Structure 1
Amino acid sequence: MKIKLLSILAGVGMAMSNVQPALAQAQTEPIKFALCYDLSKVYAFAVPQVAQAARDYAQILNQKGGIEGHPVEILVQDHGNEPQRGIECYEKMKREGAITFDFFSTPVGRALLPRAMQDNNVMISSFTGRSDAVDGDVFKWIFPIGPTYWSQAANNIQYIKSKSNNNLKGVKIAFFYLDTAFGLEPIGVLKTLAAKEGFDLQLFPNPLPGNNQSGAWSQIRRFNPDWVISWNLGNMHVVASREMKRNAMPMDKYIAVNWFNEVDIANIGADAAKGIKRGTNVVGGQEHPLIQQILKDLYDKGKGNGDRKHTNDIFYNTGLATYAPVFEGARLAIKQYGWPLTSDKMKRGLESLRNFDANGLIAPVTVTAKDHGGGGKTRIDMWDGAKWVPETGWFSAYDDVVQESAKKESAEFAKSKQ
């Protein structure tokens, strides 16, 4: 009996010796997030800072033990804003075991969306891509967490309404946009709101490369708008500011899309840019505790993942805003559903986000199986000549219009896939 008991204990000991390494391996197996980005062409003025922020954030998490004990790996590859290269990157990252896929490009994201859905892979499309992808009933694997271009445009209209005695009838609004999928995205919602509120909307396309704007601004001057909403990128804003000055149009009537940063301000001139506004989805500056920790623990020690100057840029903050909900979703997934982390668990983890604001970095987002956007809140910031000053708190407007548009477009998408 004693020998038999010893044999059993020995067997248990051998089994436990095999379990321990397996447990250790499970605890240290990394979580991989794929960033297939345009690092070299159209979005190269912004996207490298987004990737830099994601890497810095992952490094900070890893110094604290990772996500639920698992190190974070950020896999980055350039697609040059070319859909075919985006497909190649996606397939490569699949083979490398990525748990989420992010393309940070409206044309590339639109091209990859059907493939990611067919593969049941989680695709992150925060601040880019199809606005109707907030409809989780149709786009089950797509997560445009944060305000879409539709929400941002609607919120800009609400801001203009608040500055027009809450009456938009007869108000002239020029929509000056880059003539690409990115620039075209908000037009449907703007037309719906114009019909609803009675303002005079006129559209002024800006063909690529976007820097020859004199003809468009001559037309805008003849329209004589009360406000200009600009859906342009990088140096296009700088050119637009010069054209506004040349056409004697006040800078404080210009509301830029969120892709307007501190470099643009410097190129316009801090004093010349005074009064200009932008819709934004993340706090600016370096005062947020996460950024302060990154500066202290990484850049002060020469361990940052890029140039320190980029940490004082709204594009860098946008990278943090993109991955704060993603990392939290991964944490919730593992905490609630256990390891290994699968695509389905990651999906359910993201759909568990409730009133998450990353300690004040972003507007609170609540993501559900039906709503993959999280609320659509933005705020309006104004450049006062030295810094960005919030003109509003976080808010969302015309939610009924945005949701109705999303349901209509997503239904058409679903029908086309039948």
Structure 2
Amino acid sequence: MQSTLKRMLVAAALLVSSQVALAADPIKFGLCYDLTKIYVAAVPQLAQAVKDYADLLNARGGLEGHPIEVSVQDHGNEPQRGIDCYERLKREGTMVFDFFSTPVSRAVLPRIMQDGNILVQPLVGRGDAVDGEVFKQVFPLAPTYWGQAANIISYFKKQGGGSLKGKKVAFLYLDTPFGREPMPVFEALKRLESYEFQSFPFPVPGNDQSAAFAQIRRFQPDWLILWSFSPLNPITFREMQRNGIPIDKLVTVNWINEVDINNFGAAAAKGLKRSTVVVGGAEHPLVKDILRELYDKGKGNGDRKLVADSYYNTGLAVYSSVFEGVRIAVKTQGWPLTPEKIRQGMYGIKNFDAKGFMAPITITPKDHGGGGKTRIDMWDGSKWVAQTDWFADYTGLVNTLVKANSADFAKAAK
């Protein structure tokens, strides 16, 4: 009797011990980023934000008791290095990956879909990857560039009292696939809304935009849309100034931050507008918590000055959604996790906005982008000020474009 009781107690102790050990197993996230070449103006801040938020959550118990383990590695925006990074981290048990580069994401995507792992693809990669019926393992968790473009045109229309007929819209862009991405939307909406539209590319590396501005000056646009990237933005602002084009006519894609503003001049940039997917500044409770619980204690993962930078906040907002989806997966699907369980967990994200930090998103099997909402912010000389609520417009047109492209992918993949 005593020996039986002893065996039962030992078995119970072993069971409790294994459950404790199991609960401590980490959930691994692989961030293969460009930390050294093309995107160094933004990506380090994104990585810093993800690691900070992981540390904050781990101090609070992790994701349903499991610690978050974030591995950040450099691929230098080279597809083969991105593939190597993926294969290496996959062997280490990572199931969720993020490459934050359009060419690298596109290169790795077929492998991830074949392996059944999860690709987080915010604001980069294939625009049609929001189609969850085709790209089952890919979660952009943010608006496509097509959605941003449509929302910018909608903003112009509202500013024009509900009509764009006869208005002139200029599109200035870095002549790369990224810069050319929204062109189909602008062309389609030109036919729908009857505005005049001209596009003005400038060549890589983007330091010389004078030829484009000579043409823009002759066009005399009512609105100017800029599809460029961080260090090139001040060059555009100076060209606008030199050519006598008011900066309040400009709306940029989301890739602009406070460093760009200061490099041009905070006061001179007053009136500049941007399309954004995240709240700017350090007033949000999540940013305050990170400053108080990490940086005030010397535990931050980078320069404190970069906390609350627009790119830092973008990383924080995106990974609020990523970590929430994985947390839901652990809670509802159980341990151990699998990529399929994580995929199902993502569908538990409903009207999630990280307590007002970003547009509310809802992930469904059909829509892996979350609804495509953005807003327009204006620089008031010292900070970004919202000019609109979160909104998504021309969604039927954008969805038609998404479906046409994803159908081509699905056909080619067979």
In the superposition, the TM-score normalised over structure 1's length comes to 0.97
Aligned to 2:185: 189
Which AA in structure 2 matches 1:60?
L
1:267 maps onto 2:263 in alignment: yes
Aligned to 1:353: 349
Aligned to 2:173: 177
What is the deviation of 1:18? 2.6
1:239 maps onto 2:235 in alignment: yes
Query: Which whole-Å deviations, capped at 9, do the CAs of 1:241-288 have from their partners, x for residues lacking one?
Result: 111111111100110110100000001101111111000000000000
Equivalences, count: 414
1:295 maps onto 2:291 in alignment: yes
What is the deviation of 1:101? 0.3
What is the deviation of 1:401? 0.6
The 5 Å alignment of 1:130-209 reads: 130-209=126-205
Aligned to 1:405: 401
1:336 maps onto 2:332 in alignment: yes
Give the counterpart of 1:82 among 73, 78, 89.
78
Which AA in structure 2 matches 1:224?
Q
What is the deviation of 1:7? 4.0
8 Å contact 1:107–1:181 — kept in the other structure? Answer: no
Give the counterpart of 2:226 among 227, 230, 241.
230
Aligned to 2:380: 384
Aligned to 2:49: 53
Aligned to 1:327: 323
3-state SS in 2 of match to 1:271? coil
Distance in structure 2 (CA, Å) of the matches to 1:141 and 1:362: 23
Distance in structure 2 (CA, Å) of the matches to 1:351 and 1:195: 36
Give the ranges of 4+ consecutive aligned residues of structure 1 lying more than 3 Å apart after TM superposition: 5-8
Distance in structure 2 (CA, Å) of the matches to 1:312 and 1:331: 24
Which AA in structure 2 matches 1:170?
G
Greater shift in the superposed pair: 309-318 or 165-174: 165-174
Distance in structure 2 (CA, Å) of the matches to 1:332 and 1:134: 20
Aligned to 1:417: 413
3-state SS in 2 of match to 1:36? strand
3-state SS in 2 of match to 1:205? strand
Which AA in structure 1 matches 2:350?
R
Give the counterpart of 1:279 among 275, 298, 302.
275
Greater shift in the superposed pair: 77-86 or 180-189: 180-189
Query: Which whole-Å deviations, capped at 9, do the CAs of 1:278-329 have from their partners, x for residues lacking one?
Result: 0000000000001000000111111100000000310000010110011000
In the superposition, the TM-score normalised over structure 2's length comes to 0.98
What is the deviation of 1:179? 1.4
3-state SS in 1 of match to 2:307? helix
Q: Which runs of 5+ in 2 are unaligned?
A: none
Distance in structure 1 (CA, Å) of the matches to 2:41 and 2:205: 14
Distance in structure 2 (CA, Å) of the matches to 1:137 and 1:288: 35
Distance in structure 1 (CA, Å) of the matches to 2:100 and 2:115: 19
What is the deviation of 1:205? 1.3
3-state SS in 1 of match to 2:274? strand
1:216 maps onto 2:219 in alignment: no
What is the deviation of 1:208? 1.0
8 Å contact 1:178–1:231 — kept in the other structure? Answer: yes
Distance in structure 2 (CA, Å) of the matches to 1:9 and 1:259: 66
Distance in structure 2 (CA, Å) of the matches to 1:299 and 1:48: 17
Distance in structure 1 (CA, Å) of the matches to 2:139 and 2:356: 21
8 Å contact 2:41–2:231 — kept in the other structure? Answer: no
Q: Percent identity?
A: 57
Q: Which runs of 5+ in 1 are unaligned?
A: none
Aligned to 2:31: 35
Which AA in structure 2 matches 1:271?
A
Distance in structure 2 (CA, Å) of the matches to 1:189 and 1:413: 19
Give the counterpart of 1:99 among 95, 101, 110.
95
What is the deviation of 1:99? 2.3
3-state SS in 2 of match to 1:381? strand
8 Å contact 2:347–2:364 — kept in the other structure? Answer: yes
8 Å contact 2:287–2:308 — kept in the other structure? Answer: no
What is the deviation of 1:177? 1.1
8 Å contact 2:32–2:98 — kept in the other structure? Answer: yes
Give the counterpart of 1:72 among 68, 71, 77.
68
1:118 maps onto 2:114 in alignment: yes
Query: Which whole-Å deviations, capped at 9, do the CAs of 1:108-128 have from their partners, x for residues lacking one?
Result: 111111111111111000111
3-state SS in 2 of match to 1:361? coil
Aligned to 1:258: 254
